[in-house]
Structure 1
Amino acid sequence: MIELDGVGRVFRSRSGEVEALRAIDLTVADGEFLAVIGRSGCGKSTLLRLVAGLLTPTAGRVTVGGTPIAGPRPDIALMFQRPALLPWRSVLGNVLLPLELRGRVRPEHRERAQSLLDAAGLAGFHRRLPHELSGGMQQRVALCRALIQRPSVLLMDEPFSALDALTREELAGQLQQVHMEMRPTTIFVTHSIQEAVLLADRVAVLSSRPGRVQRIITVDIPRPRSFGRNAHLTDVAARVAELTDLLHATDAALPLLDTKPI
């Protein structure tokens, strides 16, 4: 579904060059949930923006569904670290915005937006303005806005990082349900090893800048997953511990690729 073939990205300015990514080879299967983790500055967000069509690679190519990415596409939704809601629009109006920008809001779209909001725990808040909501509620609105067009690809750039721990876990649980029901092909950038283990089918670990794929690890744990007391708690804890050790290791100690389940 998503393929990055020898992808590199260099940022150039008057002060010099910064090589953010180098020789990224990565495939994300249709309906797969891939988490991307790595140290700060390793190019995780740059990778996401390349897939979204907001940046162009300086080497290699990015394709989605076999078509090269040449710019933003309606079947690719991007959710940022901050909800970026328009403060003068209602919750419902913010969710419908992508459709309005394409000039095609119909009654069934409004019904879908309302259903998404209700499923996200926002029944009764459709007419509220963003400043009347908590941070977690605002991110739920942003998730509904990303899903309103039924995207085949969902890109998420640390969407829960500004939230408290309990709210993050609640939203991670909701995202699990969304993925199990809708099956969008998802790339989820995070600094949180716990989030990666809770959500992903596989975790791609990037090296320090320039970012390269150092290891891809399969997380073979039945869903739904949680940190609460359940049959898979030991497995979740073991994966978190292994990924923590992996990120603490030096880049030189990491093998180029390891796809075995852990």
Structure 2
Amino acid sequence: MTAISLKGVSHTFETRRTKLRALEDIDLEIGENEFVTLVGRSGCGKSTLLRMMAGLLRPTAGQVEVGGQAVTKPRRDVSLMFQRSALLPWRTVIENVMLPVEILRLDRRAHRTRAEQLLALTGLEGFEDRRPNELSGGMQQRVALCRALVHDPSVLLMDEPFAALDALTREELSLELQRIWGEERKTIVFVTHSIQEATLLADRIVVMSPRPGRIARILPVGADRPRSLGVTAAHDGELDRVGAELHELLFAREPAGVPLSLQEPERNR
């Protein structure tokens, strides 16, 4: 079943003096409970695409659908997580997690229980009454993840959520997100510049061409889950194979010396 559908989606940013084509003719279908990563050079329109899925930006052409309905504004069943946690410093951990519940005017008692369960799931049990400045950067992003999930959205959009963290914390949270997704089973679209993150997390990797962003290639990742990193990882070389192909797409010229930006985009199923 399709959770997100993009049909002929293009977007142009316009000012009085200039026009900038950010995206052009994007066709993509994302299945229910699928984990998809978006990868491409800076400026290729990954974040723009995510914001259109979230209803924060309208496409210049084409249509974005979630659950078979056109996206024309933000939806309560779609949650967006940014690169920085953006926690409110005067609120406690549990109060930050509960913020969407207050905004959406949901049942506080039921969602308080869910908030506590999510904090326990992410290893933050016992930190409910702490303030953000008492937490590490990785812990703050865990709180932001709990906040994004507390109202039980069907779709979670993640815009480089671990990019500002150190390498070890980033790897730890990537593994943690994989585990949480295995339990929560949301449709996740995850923007990243990291080849390692993309291959570890994704069912499919959508490779974007340089601006104007197009879908240059879609790479399926066939490795079994749960996945791990390092020399003890047993995936029959699948993650290494996909990672090598992704690296070649992003940094080399192919086929026959043709730059990625000039290749014919592939259509998804």
Q: What is the TM-score normalised by the length of structure 2?
A: 0.93
CA contact (8 A) 1:227 1:236 kept: no
Mapping 1:11-30, distance limit 5 Å: 11-30=13-32
CA contact (8 A) 1:81 1:160 kept: yes
RMSD: 1.5
Query: In the alignment, which of 252, 257, 260 is matched to residue 266 of structure 2?
Result: 257
1:177 aligned residue? 179
Query: In the alignment, which of 179, 183, 193 is matched to residue 191 of structure 1?
Result: 193
2:237 aligns to what SS in structure 1? helix
Deviates more, 1:171-180 or 1:39-48: 171-180
2:94 aligned residue? 92
Offset of 1:251 from its aligned partner? 1.7
Distance 2:261 2:146 in 1: 41
Give, as a single letter, the amino acid of the residue that structure 1 aligns with 2:241: A
Offset of 1:255 from its aligned partner? 4.7
Distance change >3 Å, CA 238–CA 159, structure 1 → 2: same
CA contact (8 A) 1:215 1:254 kept: no
Give, as a single letter, the amino acid of the residue that structure 2 aligns with 1:23: D
Offset of 1:34 from its aligned partner? 0.6
Query: In the alignment, which of 238, 243, 250 is matched to residue 247 of structure 1?
Result: 250
Mapping 1:1-262, distance limit 5 Å: 1-228=3-230, 229-232=232-235, 234-248=237-251, 249=253, 250-251=259-260, 254-257=263-266
2:228 aligns to what SS in structure 1? coil
CA contact (8 A) 2:102 2:108 kept: no
Offset of 1:230 from its aligned partner? 2.3
Offset of 1:102 from its aligned partner? 1.7
Distance change >3 Å, CA 5–CA 186, structure 1 → 2: same
Distance 1:258 1:223 in 2: 26
CA contact (8 A) 1:226 1:233 kept: no
Distance change >3 Å, CA 226–CA 255, structure 1 → 2: farther
Distance 1:244 1:175 in 2: 23
1:167 aligns to what SS in structure 2? helix
Percent identical among aligned pairs is 56
1:73 aligns to what SS in structure 2? coil
Offset of 1:177 from its aligned partner? 1.3
Offset of 1:252 from its aligned partner? 5.3
Structure 1 residues without counterparts, runs of 5 or longer: none
1:149-200 Cα shifts (integer Å, max 9, x gaps)? 1110000000000011111111111111121112111110000111000000
1:51-102 Cα shifts (integer Å, max 9, x gaps)? 0000000000000011000100110000001101111100000000000112
1:178-224 Cα shifts (integer Å, max 9, x gaps)? 21112111110000111000000000001100000011110000011
Structure 2 residues without counterparts, runs of 5 or longer: 254-258
Offset of 1:253 from its aligned partner? 6.5
Give, as a single letter, the amino acid of the residue that structure 2 aligns with 1:72: P
Offset of 1:234 from its aligned partner? 2.6
Distance 2:101 2:268 in 1: 39
Offset of 1:254 from its aligned partner? 3.9
Distance 1:237 1:180 in 2: 22
1:114 aligns to what SS in structure 2? helix
CA contact (8 A) 2:5 2:66 kept: yes
1:163 aligns to what SS in structure 2? coil
Deviates more, 1:232-241 or 1:32-41: 232-241
1:223 aligns to what SS in structure 2? coil
